[in-house]
Structure formats: C-alpha cells, structure tokens
C-alpha cells in the first residue's frame, strides 16, 4: 500500500455521502462519512449497497439518521485524531437519542479494535474492511443492548458479487476496486495490518461493473488497488497458474478488457508500485487512447539507503529506469508521486537526493508529507524517529516549493494547446464556468456554454496556475 493512495487532502477529509434518489420516509436512515483514500470512498459504496438490502437509505441530514457510520483512515496520527473528535460530537447526539447506533469502519477500526468500544466507549460497533457483509447482524446486536465487533481479516473477500450503490448517481467518474489488501511490507505503513493480504477480484466482474457504469452515464473509471500492478487472476505470486482450465489475467490484460468496454470510457488507475510496473503495462497504455496518459508512481524518497530502510523494494536507479521507460513508451505522459520527508535517520544529503530526483523527473503533481510514525509498523520497532519536527517542516517546505515550480512549468507547457476535456460540471468558484479534466488529469475551467456534463469538449488553454488550467471551448 502506498503511503496515502491519494489521500483527499493533506491530512484527512470527511464527506457525507447521499443517494440521489428520493428518500423513503419509512426506511431506516444511514449516514455515512468517509475519510482518507479513494479505497475508503469505494468501500463506502459497498457498505451502502449491503445495508440498502437490509432496508436502509442514505441521508445527508445527520439528524435523520438511525445509524451513523464513519469509514476511517489510519495512515497518519492526525487522521485518527480528527475521527476521534468527530466521534465525540456523535456521542453527544447519542446521549440525546439512545437508540442511535454509531459505528466505525475501515482501517482505524481494524487497528484499534475494541479500544474504541471498551476503553474510550465512543462507538457501539466496529467493522474491519473485510467484515462489511456482517453489518446488518452487528447493528442488530447493538439493538439488543450489546456492543458489536467484527474485525476478522480474510484471504478471499473481494466483494466481487456486490454491486456498489453509487453515492453520486449523477456522477461522471467512478471508482472500481480490483484488488484488496497488500503484500508489500513498507516499514512505515499500517495497511498490511489493517487490510490484510492481497487478493485480486475476478476480471469478469470488474468488466461487468465498468459496462454497467458506462451504460448508466459514467464516462470515467479509476481501477483501484493498494498496488494495481500486482493484480493477478488465477496466477500465484510466483507466477504459477492456479487452475489450468481457467484463463489468467494480469494488470495489463485487465486494462485492455476495460478499455474495450467503449472508446468513450476513460480508464485510470491508482496506485502503481515502482518495483512492479512493467513495460507491458506501459505498452498497453500507449495502445489505447482512452487509457489516460497519467501515472501516479510513488517514490517516497530519492535516496537508495532511505528506500532500503523503508523496505520499498527498489533503488533510486530502478525508479529512474521506470521513469525513463514511461517517457519513452508514452511520450507526454503525466507523472505524479508521493514523497515522505524526515523518515527515520534521514540525513541532509539524503534529503537533497530527493530534491535532485524531483529535478530529474519533473513531476506534474505530488502528495507531500512529513513522516508520521505509526504503531506496530516495522519502522516503529526497528528505527528511531530521530528527525526533529522543525527539520521535517523545513525539508517539507523545500519539497513543496520545488513541486509548485515544477507543476507551474508543467501547466505552462500546455498554454496555447487544445486539450480534450471531460466535463464534470460547474466550477466550484463560479456557476458561469464549467470544469473538467484533461486525460493527463489536470483540472480545466472554462466559460459555460450549452455543452453538457459528461460530454467531451476541445478547450484551448489560455491561462494557468500551478494547479489549474483556464481556457475556452473551440
């Protein structure tokens, strides 16, 4: 699992999720809040589907809720603290309404287990990422006056037979989970302990879900996994075929299957791991125009010794080789990354190696963090968190400043060009403007016309900032 798998903001962001169809006044009401990565948001749609079968409808109004569930993130200490603060608010609501059920899902539930039930007494139930099918039973247990918990991890659960309830039914983009769990034991990361061993989902169920999404009006899917490059169906980790009578599928082949759903369906994926990214994947991306030329390839550090301490499984040289392959096979491909600064024992020279690698790659975008020690990780057991907060902050500022310059230069290279944009809707800042993304994942804002949400338009780029392009439809 990458350090953040695209965390929605620098720390954590909660979003109340609502079904767009009209609420049934007689139905039980579910209020869902998701924090952290794209995988959590995707999981919340699975949870909504499971509970819809049990008679629940989701609501945005927390005061209407019979059940409140928080889908949580454990990547950073700050993320967990914000969830605790939110649970404290809910405890006040429960004091006023004892029938209200408050539960916590996901990575934080898996990591802290019954501490949240018995010691802090902030929740009525907890369910780990592999226990969502058990939620109706857990809620029933709470209704009978008990506390309820299921944090058992599974080697098989993929929720492949669950058709996720799309919490934004008028949306354009959707997440489609292709793997669960993680077999990479990066020394800084809790995910292998909170999400279990890696397993891949049946490719036919993935393709069917993508076809259904396209038929429902969605025009972009993001294939999700802690490490999408290690997707393998009917293949062992050693490359052996499990069942000779069944076909095998690797990630490159899966991407092709999804790309063939329709040339009008954009295909993205997240997140890749440098040690597993193959030229076959890159060649497949180059083959299909609707597989977006954008790769999120977390580096974490530009120094080989730090990467070794992180247990990343590759060196600086290996990473640069993968970058060179991307630029050779997919010219113009946008590349983003994750960077952790101030990891255990990081010296000033090791930090400078990260800065120099940023200059070599010229990332279009980056998620950048100070190292945050997590309990029970290999780094906590083996290394001392010995870089001061002051130095971490200083180094992070240097990394951010450099990335802002690279992002601005990347966008400036697009001035005067014409970009295909998938319209996502009105701009958040102005209802007189529309917005959408280029294939390389850059947001574009342009004056509103009669062009519709979900359609493709050609936009000439006239202005830019380090984060956004501006232009006009041509």
| Digitized pLDDT (tens) for each residue of the chain, 474 residues in all | 343 333 333 333 344 444 434 446 668 999 999 887 788 888 999 999 999 999 999 998 999 999 999 998 777 777 788 888 898 888 888 888 989 999 999 888 887 776 777 766 789 999 999 999 999 999 999 988 888 999 888 888 899 888 888 877 678 999 999 999 999 999 999 888 888 889 999 999 999 999 999 999 999 999 999 999 999 999 887 788 999 988 999 999 999 999 999 999 999 999 999 999 999 999 999 999 999 999 999 999 999 999 999 999 999 999 999 999 999 999 999 999 999 999 999 999 999 999 999 999 999 999 999 999 988 899 999 999 999 999 999 999 999 999 999 999 999 999 999 999 999 999 988 999 999 999 999 999 999 999 999 999 999 999 999 999 999 999
The crossing angle, in degrees rounded to 10, of helices 251-259 and 203-215 is 30
Nearest by Cα to 419 from 365, 464, 463, 473: 473
Q: 259 lies in a domain?
A: yes
Q: 317 lies in a domain?
A: no
304-336 pLDDT tens trace: 999 999 999 999 999 999 999 999 999 999 999
Are residues 428 and 397 part of one domain? no
18-33 pLDDT tens trace: 443 444 666 899 999 9
Which region, left, alpha or beta, applies to residue 24 given φ > 0 means left and ψ of -120 to 50 means alpha?
beta
H runs (alpha helix) in 348-450 = 348-361, 378-382, 389-412
Q: What is the DSSP letter of 432?
A: T
Euclidean distance between CA atoms 71 and 48, whole angstroms:
11
Are residues 264 and 186 part of one domain? yes
The crossing angle, in degrees rounded to 10, of helices 251-259 and 279-287 is 10
pLDDT at 420: 98
Are residues 252 and 220 part of one domain? yes
H runs (alpha helix) in 135-278 = 135-143, 191-195, 203-215, 251-259
Q: 304 lies in a domain?
A: no
83-134 pLDDT tens trace: 888 988 888 888 889 899 999 998 888 877 767 777 667 899 999 999 999 9
Q: 209 lies in a domain?
A: yes
Are residues 137 and 36 part of one domain? yes
The residues near 445 (Cβ < 8 Å, ≥ 6 apart) are 427, 429, 430, 433, 434, 435, 468, 469, 470, 471
Q: What are the structure tokens assigned to 9, written together?
A: 């903001």
User: How many structural domains comprise the chain?
Assistant: 4
Whole-Å CA distances, 65 to 95, 270, 280: 14, 33, 48
Are residues 178 and 78 part of one domain? no
Are residues 242 and 332 part of one domain? no
Are residues 227 and 205 part of one domain? yes
Structural domain of residue 391, as residue ranges? 324-413
Q: 367 lies in a domain?
A: yes
């Amino acid at each position: 699992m990458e350090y953040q798998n695209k965390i929605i903001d620098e720390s954590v962001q909660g979003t109340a999720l609502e079904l767009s169809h009209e609420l049934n006044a007689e139905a039980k009401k579910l209020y869902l809040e998701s924090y952290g990565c794209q995988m959590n948001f995707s999981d919340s749609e699975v949870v909504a589907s499971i509970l819809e079968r049990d008679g629940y409808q989701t609501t945005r109004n927390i005061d209407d809720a019979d059940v409140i569930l928080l889908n949580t993130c454990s990547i950073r200490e700050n993320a967990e603290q914000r969830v605790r603060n939110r649970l404290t608010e809910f405890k006040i609501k429960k004091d006023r309404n004892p029938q209200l059920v408050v539960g916590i899902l996901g990575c934080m539930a898996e990591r802290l287990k019954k501490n949240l039930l018995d010691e802090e007494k902030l929740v009525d139930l907890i369910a780990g990422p592999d226990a969502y099918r058990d939620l109706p039973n857990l809620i029933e247990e709470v209704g009978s006056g008990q506390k309820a918990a299921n944090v058992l991890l599974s080697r098989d659960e993929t929720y492949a037979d669950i058709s996720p309830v799309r919490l934004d039914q008028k949306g354009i983009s959707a997440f489609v989970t292709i793997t669960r769990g993680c077999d990479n034991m990066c020394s800084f990361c809790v995910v292998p302990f909170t999400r279990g061993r890696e397993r891949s989902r049946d490719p036919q169920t993935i393709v069917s879900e993508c076809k259904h999404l396209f038929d429902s009006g969605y025009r972009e899917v993001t294939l999700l996994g802690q490490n999408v490059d290690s997707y393998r169906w009917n293949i062992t980790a050693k490359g052996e075929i499990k069942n000779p009578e069944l076909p095998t599928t690797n990630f490159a082949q899966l991407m092709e299957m999804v790309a063939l759903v329709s040339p009008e369906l954009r295909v993205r994926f997240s997140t890749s791991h440098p040690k597993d990214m193959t030229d076959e994947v890159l060649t497949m991306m180059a083959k299909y125009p609707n597989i977006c030329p954008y790769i999120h390839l977390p580096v974490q550090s530009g120094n080989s010794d730090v990467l070794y301490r992180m247990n990343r499984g590759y060196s600086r040289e290996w990473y640069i080789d993968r970058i060179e392959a991307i630029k050779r096979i997919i010219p113009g491909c946008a590349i983003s990354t994750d960077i952790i600064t101030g990891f255990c024992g990081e010296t000033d020279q090791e930090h400078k190696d990260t800065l120099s690698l940023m200059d070599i790659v010229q990332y279009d975008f980056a998620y950048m963090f100070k190292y945050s020690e997590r309990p029970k990780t290999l780094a906590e057991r083996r290394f001392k968190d010995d870089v001061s907060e002051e130095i971490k902050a200083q180094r992070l500022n240097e990394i951010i400043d450099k990335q802002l310059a690279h992002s601005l230069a990347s966008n400036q290279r697009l001035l005067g060009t014409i970009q295909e944009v998938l319209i996502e809707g009105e701009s958040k800042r102005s209802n007189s403007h529309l917005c959408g993304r280029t294939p390389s994942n850059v947001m574009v804002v342009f004056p509103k016309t009669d062009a519709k949400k979900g359609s493709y338009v050609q936009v000439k780029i006239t202005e830019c900032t380090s984060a956004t392009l501006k232009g006009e439809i041509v």
